[in-house]
Amino acid sequence: MNGDLVGVRDAIAQRATSAREVIDGYLARIDAANGVLNAYHEVFAEEARAAADSVDAAISRGDRLGPLAGVPIAVKDNIATKLGTTTCSSRILENYRSPFDATVIERLAAADAIVVGKTNLDEFAMGSSCERCAWGPVRNPWDPSRVPGGSSGGSAAAVAANLCAAALGSDTGGSIRQPAALCGVVGFKPTYGRVSRYGLVAFGSSLDQIGPICHSVRDAALLYEVMAGDDPRDSTCAARAVEPVSATLDETPRTFRVGIPHQYRKGNSPAVDTALERAALLLQKAGATIVDVDLPMTDLGISTYYVIAPAEASSNLARFDGIRYGHRSTAHGSQDLFDLYANSRAEGFGAEVQRRIMLGTYVLSAGYYDAYYRRALQIRRLIKQEFDTVLAQCDVILGPTSPTAAFPIGGVTDPLAMYMCDVYTVNTNIAGICGISLQAGLDHSADRPLPVGMQLQAQAFNEPMLFKIARALERASGPLDAAPPSLTTVA
């Protein structure tokens, strides 16, 4: 079955198909395509079939079911599940089994969704390409020689290739939105504190958020409603009611203002610039007033992020020492405690994770804390104030999600060049606001067409407005005029 989350759910509820038939169809596609794409690390086939049978039995009895009954959802492998392992795509957690479910997993279960498997990611969510996975690179369904984006590349690839109805990702600096853009699907990062982080393996605790990757804005709105809300187990969760967004999704405001920073119009590929101008025109036809705005600190976001995030990572990942958590080295010879720590971490962590731990430890060290970390926190406050000023002038900010379409696997080897893939997304996390990426066109400059994504950003806790405008743009844009080959060759 090809269909978005809402379509799959409705077909099951209306008995046009059964949950078991749906699950069997998705599992067949996973079997056919995952060997090429490497989107999934682990698939829960028998458990998914058993859950589907339970949904079908409940429907036959006339029981009242949740809003996601029978819908197969994939979960990024840095979100804790009692089912299977939670590895963060790292050798250091290769055999780790969580004794508890993350809050978002509990809420999916309460909505009667079915977790079909765990998806690969850049190790510990540190990357923009999904090449840095201990189990091999994830490949883009549109062109398997290219990256799917990262770090939630497995989730984005699984959705784009129709290997699940929707997926969960995590977004620390663009890790939901950027792969969604490169894979031609929708990725939503909620306001910081809107969705519980309990059970998310921490990378940057002041930046991380869990969010959905879906086929449509409507799907993302529904999945967000299921997951969002206060959680006493997460002290950073906002203790405020979640405003409904899916029921009012098609109520486009009569008038609204869309800001386009001039900083977002430079350094992009021609296809991205074309998509930006088209998106602006479509929104204008839908009733928007386009406003030129200024975000002069855009270029400072990358340097600020790559001080704050590694600093928090160096602290969060200190627990993986081979004794309390994680892989323990069995290197021969005399080992004191320091050697055990060093060998375990050197064997368990990949090069990029080691690089960020070292960078974070350096910026937090005596003599450098004020020069780097404290300074980055001061710039973070200025970036937040800049967004507050601009979002007082407009309802949403429009711009590219990524400066280019997907690049070839192995095509970007300079770490700084890789970091620049997130130039438009990191400041959303730094400011703690919400953002959504949706497909906006195709780049035909390569051998195969590749999707281009546009991002909308809105003020913190203004998800209702963000979803309405995103839905208006989605309706105006229409579907892409091409599809990933896996959608036509894997049936």
CB 453 within 8 A of CB 440: yes
Q: Which one from 89, 129, 170, 175 is the annotated catalytic residue? A: 175
CA–CA distance, 147 with 151 (Å, rounded to integer) = 11
Strand partners, 105: none
Q: Which one from 18, 151, 170, 477 is the annotated catalytic residue? A: 151
User: What does the CA dihedral 330, 335, 337, 343 come to, rounded to 10 degrees?
Assistant: -50
What's the distance, Cα to Cα, between the start and end of the chain in Å? 8
Q: Which two tokens stand for residue 432?
A: 């703690």
The 3-state secondary structure of 85-118, one letter per residue: CCCCCCHHHCCCCCCCCCHHHHHHHHCCCEEEEE
Would you say how long the chain is, in residues?
491
Q: Give the contacts of 247 (CB within 8 A, at least 6 positions apart).
A: none
CA–CA distance, 315 with 296 (Å, rounded to integer) = 31
CB 304 within 8 A of CB 379: yes
CB 60 within 8 A of CB 12: no
DSSP assignment of 449-475: -EEEEEEEEE-TT-HHHHHHHHHHHHH
CA–CA distance, 110 with 228 (Å, rounded to integer) = 13
Q: Which of 403, 448, 395 is nearest to 423 (CA)?
A: 403
CA–CA distance, 62 with 59 (Å, rounded to integer) = 5
Q: Which of 337, 281, 341 is nearest to 317 (CA)?
A: 341
Report which DSSP code applies to 146: B
Phi/psi of residue 256, nearest 5 degrees: -155, 160
**Catalytic site includes residue 468:** no
CA–CA distance, 123 with 353 (Å, rounded to integer) = 7
Distances, alpha carbon 2 to alpha carbons 6, 11, 70, 207, 487, in Å:
12, 11, 15, 34, 8
**Catalytic site includes residue 285:** no
Amino acid identity of 11?
A: A
**Catalytic site includes residue 54:** no
Q: Give the contacts of 479 (CB within 8 A, at least 6 positions apart).
A: none
CA–CA distance, 263 with 294 (Å, rounded to integer) = 7
Residues with a catalytic annotation lie at 76, 151, 175
